[in-house]
Amino acid sequence: MLDQYDNENNGTTVSAARFVEHLRANGHDVRVVSTGSPASGKYVIKTHIFPIIDPLISGQGMVFGRSDDAVVREAFSGADIVHLYLPFKLEMRAREIAEEMGIPYIAAFHCQPENVSYNIGMKYLEPLNAWIYRWFRKRFFQHVNHIHCPTQFIAEQLRKHKYKARLHIVSNGADEAFHPMEVEKPGEWKDKFAIMMVGRLSAEKRQDLIIKAALKSRYRDKIQLVFPGKGPKEKKYRKLGAKLKNPPIFGYYKKEELAKLINQCDLYVHASEAEIEAISCIEAFSCGLVPVIANAKMSATKQFALDKRCLFKNRSVKDLVKKIEYWIEHPEEKAEMSKRYIESAKKYRVSRSVEKMERIYQHIIDEKKYREAHANDPDAHMIHMPTTMCYKVGENFRFVNRNFFFKLGSTALYLFAILVLTVITKLIFGLKIEGQKNLRHLKSGAITVANHVHILDGPMVACMLFPRKAYMASLKTNFEIPFIRWLVRLLGGVPIPETPKALRAFMTSMSQELKKGRLVHFYPETALWPWYDKLRPFKNGAFHLAVESEVPVVPMVFKFREPRWLAKKIRKKPVVTLVVGKPVYPGGSGSQKERMEALRETTHEHMAEMIEVKAKA
């Protein structure tokens, strides 16, 4: 469901239409609820007219739908899941209807607040963007358990603005129609260097930067600009571009025509300052066009840059001229870079994105069925463990004992234990900490991982993380050792279950805690090898949970140094250094398994490099 489906003048509509096309090709019955003209499988609702400001809205190419409960209920009847594309009044009411009808749903985050602030002339008013994020959350997204995010960038923005739902990162993807093909340029610009940017002609897209760069280039008479798209800035850009010997080409093109046009061009420039993903950029490099992308703070598109030559300083006409002229003057390098982009584009195909979305749909449907099946049995979700805590599938992690004085006593013991352990680890084991500043800006939930090489490396991590208290994933056998089990529990230890059902409950509970901003610590090597100075292979659990919960992994390594001064006379064993690395974020492309494996390997590489660096004395 979305407000606008017929007029493909924005990425949201294009993405929705292509997902519908591919889902239907895969044998699914897909019903579209939107404004516009009647069509097979489409349920039409009326357009909402806003008095006074409607010319401004329509001038931006935007349309809002007016909810019709009867039409929405008819469309939802017999549906397995509902996908809500936007956070406006139509979708708000649709969510309520889906809830009443008992149909599971997922919402997408396609409307970036910066798109709004730029188009009302308040692009530098950061508090306004924060308010829009909050308004979207309060009015709509706080009622949603699952959100589709096209990129890691927008997922991080949602976490920053306190969105608690489970985030699913799936690229909107490029259609298979966009691929390299042999086509001749039109005769009128056959000898020109054609530079393209596809997108709405609106304030945040910044096509004006490209025109200004062309005007300042020494190749200005050779450059032909191509701007497929419509929007409120078209008149202004036509006037600005009229100063060029070869005025820019504007217009709307259907999918097949656009794919042919892209293949007729020589370079793609994406100047947008605010972008959730930019399908147009993916489509361009899928055809082999090398992109030059604005390195803008609020744009996810910079993630596609394979080289610094493919990035230009945001809002800098001078730097854009430099990058454009570089690619004009180095055709051989551009040809090699084109091959790299064609290969890179394979992981962004819309068919792969649809496959991922199908798996997400099925997960949400199964989750709904499971909850309904156990609605009358509150203990069915509970897996009891030999600690003061238990895990509840799909719900919150909670203490069994909620007595105030019990909690107060536990807190006092915890603080005392941290104080004593800090003294012991520093005086007796010579603990030094490096890189702790890497945790300074980590406000969200995260998974910390370390090599397992010291009997007290868990308490050392707990002391280093203080005042934040992490859940420390530990083997069940550690909860069977006298006294040690008490210390492990006190420092946040939770046993890793051994049965599949209990393990699923454990992972679900940990995921919920990560979304609340908690830390969870793992030893991916699993077994303790005291004083071992190399890194062993990692198990998948921590990285699977990080990808599942869309949180970063903070790598830490314990390494050893020779004692000095008095400690050298007292100790035979080395003393300990704990090094904290920079957070590693899950990648935004590939299957969940591919993302997990990539995160595991990247983290392992970082930790191996950290171990190789000699510890400071």
pLDDT at 476: 67
Give the bridge partners for 474, in sequence order: 495
Residue 450 pLDDT > 70, yes or no? yes
- The stretch 572-595 carries a mean pLDDT of 83
Cα dihedral across residues 151, 155, 160, 163: positive or negative: positive
pLDDT at 588: 64
Burial (CB count <10 Å: 0-12, 13-18, 19+), residue 359: middle
pLDDT at 305: 93
Answer yes or no: are the C-beta atoms of 452 and 529 closer than 8 Å: yes
Give the residue ranges of DSSP H helices in 470-499. Answer: 484-490
SS (H, E, C) 195-240: EECCCCCCHHHCHHHHHHHHHHCCCCCCEEEEEEECCCCHHHHHHH
CA-closest candidate to residue 171, choices 271, 276, 270: 276
- The stretch 411-420 carries a mean pLDDT of 80
- The stretch 445-460 carries a mean pLDDT of 89
pLDDT at 397: 37
Question: The tokens of 577 are what?
Answer: 């250094």
pLDDT band at 124 (very low <50, low <70, confident <90, very high): low
pLDDT at 408: 63
Query: How do 575-580 and 553-561 pair as beta strands?
Result: antiparallel
Number of H helices, E strands in the chain: 21, 24
pLDDT band at 614 (very low <50, low <70, confident <90, very high): low
Query: How do 398-399 and 389-392 pair as beta strands?
Result: antiparallel
Question: The tokens of 158 are what?
Answer: 């949602």
Cα dihedral across residues 465, 470, 475, 481: positive or negative: positive
CA-closest candidate to residue 390, choices 502, 552, 527: 502
Query: 516-526: buried (b, 16+ CB within 10 Å) or exposed (e) per residue?
Result: ebbbbbbbbbe
- The stretch 122-136 carries a mean pLDDT of 84
CA angle 586, 604, 147 (to 5 degrees): 10
pLDDT band at 487 (very low <50, low <70, confident <90, very high): confident
**513 contact partners, CB below 8 Å, separation of at least 6:** 397, 445, 471, 520
pLDDT at 399: 38
pLDDT band at 466 (very low <50, low <70, confident <90, very high): confident
SS (H, E, C) 388-407: CEEEECCCCCEECCCCHHHH
Q: Tell me: the pLDDT tens digits for 29-81?
A: 999 999 988 888 899 999 877 766 566 566 556 788 898 999 999 999 999 99
Residue 382 pLDDT > 60, yes or no? no
In the chain, pLDDT over 70 holds for what percent of residues?
A: 86
Stretch among 138-147, 383-392, 557-566 having the lowest mean pLDDT: 383-392
Residue 393 pLDDT > 60, yes or no? no
Question: The tokens of 289 are what?
Answer: 């066009």
Residue 83 pLDDT > 90, yes or no? yes
Question: The tokens of 115 are what?
Answer: 């798109």
Greater confidence (367 vs 153) lies with 153
Answer yes or no: are the C-beta atoms of 244 and 214 closer than 8 Å: yes
The residue with tokens 């945001």 is 314
pLDDT at 389: 37
- The stretch 595-602 carries a mean pLDDT of 89
pLDDT band at 403 (very low <50, low <70, confident <90, very high): low
The residue with tokens 């709904």 is 368
pLDDT at 404: 52
Question: The tokens of 446 are what?
Answer: 């995260």
Answer yes or no: are the C-beta atoms of 225 and 195 closer than 8 Å: yes
Give whole-number Cα distances, 298 to 121, 170, 275, 555, in Å: 16, 19, 7, 27
Residue 573 pLDDT > 70, yes or no? yes
Cα separation, 71 vs 74, in Å, equals 5
Residue 379 pLDDT > 50, yes or no? no
Q: E strands within 134-180?
A: 146-149, 166-169
Residue 111 pLDDT > 70, yes or no? yes
pLDDT at 120: 67
Stretch among 18-22, 77-81, 189-193, 532-536 having the lowest mean pLDDT: 532-536
Cα separation, 544 vs 540, in Å, equals 6
pLDDT at 68: 92
pLDDT at 386: 35
- What crossing angle do the helices spanning 331-344 and 279-286 adopt, rounded to 10°? 110
Answer yes or no: are the C-beta atoms of 509 and 392 closer than 8 Å: yes
Cα separation, 525 vs 450, in Å, equals 8
Cα separation, 108 vs 11, in Å, equals 13
Q: Tell me: the pLDDT tens digits for 494-551?
A: 877 767 767 777 888 888 788 778 899 999 988 888 888 888 889 998 999 998 888 8
Answer yes or no: are the C-beta atoms of 356 and 588 closer than 8 Å: no
Q: Tell me: the pLDDT tens digits for 245-286?
A: 999 999 989 889 999 999 999 999 999 998 999 899 999 999
- The stretch 471-496 carries a mean pLDDT of 72
* Residue ranges of domains in the chain, CATH in brackets: 11-169 (3.40.50.2000), 187-348 (3.40.50.2000), 377-612 (3.40.1130.10)
Residue 388 pLDDT > 70, yes or no? no
Look up residue 549 and give its DSSP letter: H
Stretch among 123-127, 339-343, 510-514 having the lowest mean pLDDT: 123-127
Rg (CA), the chain: 28
Report the predicted TM-score, pTM, of the whole model to 2 decimal places. 0.67
Cα separation, 139 vs 113, in Å, equals 14
Cα separation, 510 vs 519, in Å, equals 9
Residue 323 pLDDT > 90, yes or no? yes
Answer yes or no: are the C-beta atoms of 313 and 323 closer than 8 Å: no
SS (H, E, C) 99-131: HHHCCCEEEECCCCHHHHHHHCCCCCCHHHHHH
How many Cα neighbours within 13 Å face the side chain of 361?
Answer: 17
